[in-house]
């Protein structure tokens, strides 16, 4: 939530920052702003709306500066408005700051400052923190800004990544992080700072991921890292394994569509080097190196949020089926606040696209304190969740920029399937034949997804027909029940149509009351163990005149005939099917959203990376 960018070096800072903010806009897009420092004076420009609105408002303004900071916001304290947009200026006007995170004890600090006569121009916690820093800075002899920041940060609770500039310090950005990400790109005589690597990749591939409780003093040709105890830390330089093309739209109208269509190759990348269909083998170092821990787990607890939680539900069905290990899937946000029972022999699987979701991160810290072993299934390389995990497997889906998760989800399913197969093989809870058959099936997934995508236009026609519905019901059974939840979530997110996902059999226990001739009911009714049962559920909806849209297996004419509209997918083993059945649902949501004129890459109120609780 919120994207931050900073630059110090020989280039013009504004174009670097603006481009960076556009790349980070998925993190928040209700307002944005920049602060540029030139000749001992800081100019702050900010605007409610998207980064394009800021860009337009900057036409004709003096943007000449070689140091600056910029922010794109997802509101936490204070409504989206020009005055609540970042950067904020301190009371004296000497400092400007941007912030990603939440200062939880801001109200108390604000009161203290108000007693001292401070006035606030915004409703934000950021302005409070900035003036708190300034108050310490100006009222303590010989206190440097860096020292004042350290003192202030020791007092605040909550999460932050901040960038701070000072009018009398013409080339320095001071940064600090706790709980919100910060990457520093190292150029030749220049430095770039950002919430993730996407604004940086164009200029340099050498980056430093700043850790919690670290402070960075960044000048064009110097980067000093310190902890809050003022001790220097040697920056650990990592080489980015990412190309610029991966974060651009590549001719697609939206990132979401590009990411849906990338799935044959992202799933292939995820399997590559791990799954050897010829040999019938899966090799995953994170799993193989920790196999004893995994096969001897008393219990697996999966922690995640949103779409990643749905991937966890699919994994629960698969792991219990083939590994015979009890699995619990928990919303990280609930787990972190209750008093869960976590024992030494428990394995936690954390699933996260961004690797920065605050609830998941804190839940993991809690589980770790209780001695659990943490296995991360993460997409963003080097992210906080990847780093806190004891072991893990990346999903290798590449940067996901559309706010609605698509390719990361199928990557998670592919990785979780490989993990389950590896554990089952070592634990001997799967026969050799079944193992080989599933390895082979998994290997065929990219090709089958490609076949589904070829018929995407069929879903556009379905979307056209139902785009004005006010509600949707998504129903599935077994491995496809979590896909019903995911289908409903996708549609809600990017079309603003109310949608609910249910296990098809549960329908009779309540939701069936919603069914009338206006309600589209999406069935995931591929050929599997539950097929006959779900066909009966379809009959029940038909009898009540609901409109049936179904995802079926190719050649299943009986189910097709029961449906008002259907989309056929290639046959697949029921354990593998969720990776395929979700794709038409992604497309359906995409087309409904775009036909309704919604900016599906930036749907209202959402942000890609939820770094606040
Ligand atoms: C929905 C979506 C969210 C995320 C959730 C967790 O399309 O993307 O529900 O899945 O916010 O995010 P990560 O996976 O980054 O932890």
Q: How far apart are CA 321 and CA 430, in angstroms?
A: 9
DSSP 199-234: TTTTT-SEEEEPPTTEEEEEETTEEEEEETTS-EE-
Q: How far apart are CA 464 and CA 54, in angstroms?
A: 34
Point out the catalytic residue in the list 2, 161, 270, 323: 2
Domain membership of residue 595 (yes or no) is yes
CB atoms within 10 A of CB 535: 17
Tokens of 371: 């001695």
Tell me what pLDDT residue 241 has.
81
Residue 2 falls in the annotated catalytic set: yes
Residues 461 and 587 in one domain: yes
Q: How far, in whole angstroms, is CA 301 from its chain's centroid?
A: 20
Q: How far, in whole angstroms, is CA 366 from its chain's centroid?
A: 21
Residues 180 and 265 in one domain: no
Domain membership of residue 612 (yes or no) is no
Residues 420 and 559 in one domain: no
Tokens of 128: 């409070």
The CATH number of residue 119's host domain is 3.60.20.10
Residues 199 and 296 in one domain: no
Residues 437 and 496 in one domain: no
The protein residue with its alpha carbon nearest to ligand 1, atom 11, reads 306
Q: What are phi and psi of 203, to 5 degrees?
A: -110, -35
Select from 379, 383, 405, 603 the residue to mutate for testing ligand 1; criterion: most ligand atoms less than 8 Å from CB.
Answer: 405
- Kindly state if the Cβ of 306 falls inside 6 Å of ligand 1: yes
Domain membership of residue 448 (yes or no) is no
> For 105, which DSSP code?
T
Tell me what pLDDT residue 382 has.
82
CB atoms within 10 A of CB 151: 16
User: Who's near 262: CB < 8 A, 6+ residues apart?
Assistant: 397, 398, 407
**Whats the size of the chain, residue-wise?**
613
Label the pairing between strands 206-209 and 299-304. unpaired
Tell me what pLDDT residue 424 has.
98
CB atoms within 10 A of CB 236: 11
Select from 181, 306, 411 the residue to mutate for testing ligand 1; criterion: most ligand atoms less than 8 Å from CB.
Answer: 306
Residues 70 and 54 in one domain: yes
> In the beta sheet, which residues pair with residue 184?
193, 208
Reduced to 3 states (helix: H, G, I; strand: E, B; else coil), residue 299 is strand
Domain membership of residue 189 (yes or no) is yes
The CATH number of residue 279's host domain is 3.40.50.10490
Q: 308 alpha carbon to ligand 1 midpoint, in Å?
A: 6
Domain count, the chain: 3
Q: 170 alpha carbon to ligand 1 midpoint, in Å?
A: 39
Taking CA atoms, 233 is separated from 153, 208, 210, 214, in Å, by 18, 12, 10, 9
> In the beta sheet, which residues pair with residue 397?
none
Residues 258 and 366 in one domain: yes
76 in Cβ contact with 3 (< 8 Å): no
The answer to whether the peptide bond before residue 87 is cis (omega within 30 degrees of 0) is yes
CA atoms within 13 A on the CB side of 401: 23
Domain end: 246, 277, 304, which one? 246
Q: Comparing C-alpha atoms, which of 409, 123, 402, 395 is closest to residue 284?
A: 395
User: What order do you get walking across the sheet with 520-524 strand by strand?
Assistant: 498-503, 471-476, 520-524, 547-553, 565-569
Residue ranges in the chain whose pLDDT is less than 50: none
User: Who's near 394: CB < 8 A, 6+ residues apart?
Assistant: 378, 379, 381, 386, 415
Domain membership of residue 608 (yes or no) is no
Point out the catalytic residue in the list 47, 110, 219, 608: 608
Q: Comparing C-alpha atoms, which of 467, 584, 471 is closest to residue 517?
A: 471
20 in Cβ contact with 199 (< 8 Å): yes
Q: How far apart are CA 528 and CA 570, in angstroms?
A: 13
Tell me what pLDDT residue 78 has.
85
**Residue keyed to tokens 């006010």:** 470
Residues 422 and 507 in one domain: no
Label the pairing between strands 299-304 and 183-186. unpaired
Q: Comparing C-alpha atoms, which of 529, 482, 520 is closest to residue 501?
A: 482
Q: 522 alpha carbon to ligand 1 midpoint, in Å?
A: 22
Tell me what pLDDT residue 345 has.
87
> For 27, which DSSP code?
G
Q: How far apart are CA 435 and CA 421, in angstroms?
A: 7
Q: How far apart are CA 112 and CA 136, in angstroms?
A: 12
CA atoms within 13 A on the CB side of 182: 31
Strand positions, DSSP E, 74-182: 88-89, 95-103, 158-166, 173-178
19 in Cβ contact with 66 (< 8 Å): no
Give the N- to C-terminal CA distance of the chain in Å, as an integer. 10
Residues 89 and 236 in one domain: yes
Tell me what pLDDT residue 246 has.
77
Q: How far apart are CA 594 and CA 582, in angstroms?
A: 18
231 in Cβ contact with 146 (< 8 Å): no
Domain membership of residue 609 (yes or no) is no
Domain end: 443, 466, 483, which one? 443
Domain membership of residue 610 (yes or no) is no
Where in the sequence is the domain holding 74, given as residue range(s)?
3-246
Residues 120 and 166 in one domain: yes
Residues 235 and 270 in one domain: no
**Residue keyed to tokens 């008002």:** 564
- Kindly state if the Cβ of 559 falls inside 6 Å of ligand 1: no
Domain membership of residue 557 (yes or no) is yes
pTM here is 0.83
Q: Comparing C-alpha atoms, which of 319, 376, 373 is closest to residue 352?
A: 376
Gyration radius (Cα) of the chain, Å: 25
Tell me what pLDDT residue 504 has.
94
Residues 44 and 188 in one domain: yes
Select from 1, 351, 357, 607 the residue to mutate for testing ligand 1; criterion: most ligand atoms less than 8 Å from CB.
Answer: 357
User: Who's near 134: CB < 8 A, 6+ residues apart?
Assistant: 90, 91, 92, 94, 95, 148
User: Who's near 341: CB < 8 A, 6+ residues apart?
Assistant: none
Domain end: 419, 443, 467, which one? 443
């Amino acid at each position: 939530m919120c994207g931050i960018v900073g630059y110090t070096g020989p280039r013009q800072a504004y174009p670097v920052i603006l481009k960076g903010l556009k790349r980070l806009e998925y993190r928040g897009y209700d307002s944005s702003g920049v602060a540029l420092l030139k000749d001992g004076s800081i100019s702050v420009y900010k605007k409610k709306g998207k980064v394009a609105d800021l860009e337009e408002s900057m036409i004709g303004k003096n943007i000449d500066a070689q140091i600056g900071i910029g922010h794109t916001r997802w509101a936490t304290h204070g409504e989206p408005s020009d005055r609540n947009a970042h950067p904020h200026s301190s009371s004296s006007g000497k400092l400007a700051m941007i912030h990603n995170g939440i200062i939880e004890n801001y109200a108390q600090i604000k009161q203290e400052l108000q007693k001292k006569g401070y006035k606030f121009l915004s409703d934000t916690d950021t302005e409070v923190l900035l003036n708190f820093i300034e108050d310490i800075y100006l009222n303590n002899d010989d206190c440097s800004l860096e020292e004042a920041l350290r003192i202030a940060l020791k007092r605040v609770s909550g999460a932050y990544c901040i960038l701070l500039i000072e009018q009398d310090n013409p080339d320095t950005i001071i940064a600090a992080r706790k709980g919100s990400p910060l990457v520093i790109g190292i150029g030749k005589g220049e430095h770039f700072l950002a919430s993730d690597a996407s604004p940086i990749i164009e200029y340099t591939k050498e980056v430093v991921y700043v850790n919690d409780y670290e402070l960075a003093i960044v000048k064009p040709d110097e980067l000093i890292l310190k902890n809050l105890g003022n001790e220097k830390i040697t920056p650990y330089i990592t080489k980015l394994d990412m190309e610029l093309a991966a974060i651009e739209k590549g001719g697609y109208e939206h990132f979401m569509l590009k990411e849906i269509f990338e799935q044959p190759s992202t799933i292939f990348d995820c399997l590559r080097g791990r799954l050897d269909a010829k040999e019938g083998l899966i090799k995953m170092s994170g799993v193989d190196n920790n196999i004893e821990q995994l096969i001897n787990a008393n219990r697996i607890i999966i922690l995640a949020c949103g779409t990643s939680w749905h991937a966890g539900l699919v994994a629960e069905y698969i792991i219990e089926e083939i590994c015979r290990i009890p699995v619990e899937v928990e919303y990280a946000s609930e787990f972190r606040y209750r008093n869960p029972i976590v024992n030494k022999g428990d394995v936690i699987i954390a699933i996260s696209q961004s690797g920065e979701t605050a609830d998941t991160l804190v839940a993991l810290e809690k589980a770790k304190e209780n001695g659990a072993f943490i296995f991360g299934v993460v997409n963003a390389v080097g992210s906080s969740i990847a780093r806190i995990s004891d072991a893990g497997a990346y999903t290798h889906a590449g940067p996901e920029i559309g706010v609605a998760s698509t390719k990361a989800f199928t990557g998670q399913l592919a990785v979780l399937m490989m993990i389950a197969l590896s554990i089952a093989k070592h634990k001997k809870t799967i026969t050799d034949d079944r193992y080989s058959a599933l390895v082979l099936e998994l290997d065929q997934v990219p090709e089958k997804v490609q076949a589904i995508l070829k018929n995407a236009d069929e879903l556009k026609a379905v979307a056209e027909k139902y785009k004005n519905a006010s509600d949707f019901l998504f129903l599935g059974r077994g491995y496809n029940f979590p896909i019903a939840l995911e289908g409903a979530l996708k549609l809600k997110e990017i079309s603003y149509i109310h949608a609910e996902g249910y296990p098809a059999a549960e329908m009779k226990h309540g939701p069936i009351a919603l069914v009338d001739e206006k309600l589209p009911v999406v069935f995931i009714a591929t050929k599997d163990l539950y097929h006959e049962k779900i066909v009966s559920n379809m009959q029940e909806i038909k009898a009540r005149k609901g409109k049936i849209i179904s995802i079926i297996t190719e050649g299943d004419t009986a189910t097709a005939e029961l449906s008002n509209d259907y989309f056929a997918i290639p046959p697949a083993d029921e354990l593998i099917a969720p990776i395929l059945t979700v794709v038409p649902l992604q497309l359906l949501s995409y087309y409904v959203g775009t036909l309704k004129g919604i900016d599906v890459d930036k749907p209202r109120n959402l942000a890609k990376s939820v770094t606040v609780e």
